[in-house]
Structures are given as C-alpha cells and as structure tokens.
Amino acid sequence: MLPRPSGSLLSASRKTGISLALSGNSGQPGSISLHDRLSSRSRVTNLGIVLLLGFASLSALLNLRYMIFGAHGSGQAPPPPGFASWATFHGYTPDSLKEVVPAPRNGTSNLNHLVLVPGHAVWAGCDVRQRDNDENWILEDYQRGGSVKTFFKHIEKGVQIANSDPQALVVFSGGQTRPSSLQTEAESYFSLAVAADLELPVIAGSLLESDLNGGKSSPASSSTSNSGVQGSKTTVGSLAHANAAVATRHGLQDVRMTTENFALDSFENLLFSIARFREYTGFYPERITVVGYGFKKDRFEQLHAKAVRWPTKAYVGGGGGPTFQYVGIDDEGDDIELQYKGEKVKAFSLFDKDMYGCHNALKAKRIQRNPTRRFHPYFSSAPEIADLLNWCPADMSGLQGIYPHNLPWDLRVTGSGWGRGALAVKASGKKGFLPDSRWLQIGREGH
C-alpha cells in the first residue's frame, strides 16, 4: 500500500492543479484537459465561478441591448410610466387626457341603466319622412326590402325604454363601418331619433329640460311631451334641423342619449357600450337592456354577456329590475325563419368558438368594417377593464377561454359594498392601483 501524502504535499498538489487550470497549460505531454481539471471533484468551485461569470456577461449584454433599442425592438411600445410591464397595466388614464375632459353633466349621477341599441346601417337621408326608403340608407344588399323599418323600430323602442326609466341612458353603438360614408352608424341613429321628433329622454334638472318646459325645471320629469309646439312644452326634435342627415339642436348634450362610435360587431357593441357608459358618466352600469334583432338574443345572452362575465340572471337591489334584458324586434315578412337558421349556422357558431371575435373570420370581418383605420379610446377612458378589452384567448377555446380576472361588476361581497375583484386588489396591498373609487362601487368619481 502506498503511503498517504502529507498535508503539505496535498495542499501543494491542489495549488498546482488550480494554477494549471487557470494557465491553460495543456500543451505538455500527458497534461490534463482544462475541462477535466475544472470538472474534477476538487475543482467544482472553479467551474461554478466560470459559469457565473458567463451568465453575468450574457445578462449584461441583454440589458445593454434593451437600453439601446428599448422595448420597441420586440415590436411593443414600453408600458405607461409607473408600470414595470404591460402585464401589470391596470387602471391608468393619462393626465393629459384627464385635464381636458369636463366633469360628468349634472344629473347623470343617478344613471345606472344602459339601454343599448346596436347599429346595423347608416342613415344618410335629408328628409326624415323618407326614412323607410332604402335609398336614404347605406345598406348591404341583404338589408334591402324592409330592414330599414326595423332599424327605426329599434331606435324608437330604445327611446321609449329610457323615457319610462329616469335612470336609463340610451347608447347607440356602431362604428364608421362603410367606406362610402364617414358618419358612424351610431351618429346616424342619434340624428334620426332627433329629426324624427320622437319623445326623447332628457337629463332631469338640465337647462334643456327647463327650456322644454317653458323656462321651468321639472326635476320629477325626465322626458318631454310629444305635443310639438302646443302648450308650454316642445319636443327636442320639433326645434331641430330635421332636413339634414346630421340633426342639430341647441342643448343636445342634455338628452339622455349618447353614441358609441367604434364597435365593429355585436360583441363590441356590448363591451364598448359598457365602456362608453363609464366614459360618459364616470362609472359602470348596474343594468343593461339591449334592443335589437330577436334572432340575435341567444348570441347576446349566451355568448357576449358570458364573454364579459355580465350577470344575466340577477336583479339589482332595491327593486331595480333585472341586470340584463334583451328586447327583440325582427323584420316583417316570410324571411324571418331563414334569419334564425342563418344566425345559428353563421354568427352564433363562429362566436361560440371564438367568443371575443379575435381570430380568423370574425377578425377579418372587423378589419373589413374598419376602412378608415379607427382606434377606440377605452383603454384610457375605461381603464379598469383594459385587460378585458385586450383579451384574446386561443382560437377555438370557447367557454374555456373566458376572461378569468377581476372585473368592476363582479358580485359584491355581502355587507361590504366592495366587489370581489376590488377586494382581491385591496388584499394584494398594491397602492395606486385603482384610479378612483368607482371600481370599488363606493361613492362617485371626484372632479
């Protein structure tokens, strides 16, 4: 048996190995390779040092590249100030936009009912008496022969619902979808409602209401009489520029109607109108009533409402009515059965697989309906739902791809007044995460 080397000899041997590893002296006959030296049991520490130096160098290079080229090198703009990444972007409205937006109009603080009237075409007539004439509309071929009468019935019904509920706001929704007109579907519906001299809902206590009542404000009433110029009352439309595609009238900003000018399909009609309600009033609705084609009812209730996780079977507390209703009005004639069958085969089946309309055929349709390249503003004006607005699950995911995170209209926790989503954010301890108390369903937006 060979004698065990002494401590001094063993120490000298280790120092020699380390010096050889660092000097890379592998040219001598019988020398051990650098890899073998570093990976031997007594040199593991040296290997770790080399690996750490390698990782540190790589990290430094990547950070240097990011500082030089920024996030634009990945095809995405950097996140807003104060946010580490787009994944943490919630509830942010740029100050430059806040500073030029006035406070919500007096009298809107009690509004909680969104009455949505989706647009289907553009009214372009100059004489409201010819509203049933196809030539006064910008239509698709399949809409000719009677659909325009139904469009006006939708407008009329939405206005009637708002007249019966002083807490309702009518939102006409539809973007600039036709290359032959720069007017939006929503704006044309609004103008037609005014020019047709319908009994329009007015904000209670507003100057327009006082004007319509002969200079006397009537807070208990929120709509006008349909008596034209008879007596002491006049309608909004009776003094409007009726012989124009764009109706004008002093005080229209006090009518309880507004437009949502960016939606390109039925899903966006619903989601964007919720965002527009928040943009207009400063808070989110508690109730939604949709007035549209009867054959689209299942699409809205079973698909669109589920996609935005809006409760369809609940009721607003205090006898406020159901949280979701759909009022269906179809075309007259023998083609209605074909419309119902076509809905199930075409639009419903597409949204059933792609509930957010962000893939393939539904995405292509949005592109086709946006000839003037419009961008909606709701990432800034409804910042609490920024992630929902940008949500696009995998194609064909259906119900499995429904947005899973917190939303302002999540059911409240009993007795607290806070939504489940707001409580989750509060529990996380993040400060400055919520822009105002409206997401918490407490109080009103301060201005």
CA distance 387 to 379: 8
- The separation between CA 246 and the C-alpha centre of its own chain, rounded to angstroms, equals 27
What is the per-residue pLDDT across 130-147, written as a single tens digit (0 to 9) for each? Answer: 999 999 999 999 999 889
Residue 225 has pLDDT above 60, yes or no: no
The full DSSP string for 249-294 is: -TTGGGBSEEEE----SHHHHHHHHHHHHHHHHSS--SEEEEEE-G
pLDDT above 50 (res 447): no
Buried b (16+ CB within 10 A) or exposed e, 160-187: bbbbebbbbbbbbbbbbbbeebebbbbb
Q: What digits encode the pLDDT tens for the residues 263-318?
A: 999 999 999 999 999 999 988 999 999 999 999 999 999 999 999 999 999 888 87
What is the spatial distance between Cα 375 and Cα 378, in angstroms, rounded to a whole number?
9
CB atoms within 10 A of CB 16: 10
Domain ranges of the chain: 95-409, 411-447
**Could you give the CA distance from residue 272 to residue 379 in angstroms, rounded to a whole number?**
11
pLDDT at 258 over 50: yes
Residue 114 forms beta bridges with which residues? 169, 288
**DSSP output for 115-134:** EEEE--SEE--S-GGGTT-G
Specify the pLDDT at position 438.
38
What pLDDT, in 10s, does the model give residues 67-77? 444 433 344 55
Cα(276)–Cα(278) distance, rounded to whole angstroms?
A: 5
Q: At a CB cut-off of 8 Å and minimum separation 6, what does 114 contact?
A: 168, 169, 171, 273, 274, 277, 285, 287, 288, 289
**CA separation for the pair 429, 64 (Å, rounded):** 33
pLDDT tops 50 at residue 221: no
Q: Is 328 helix (H, G, I), strand (E, B) or coil?
A: strand
CA distance 400 to 306: 11
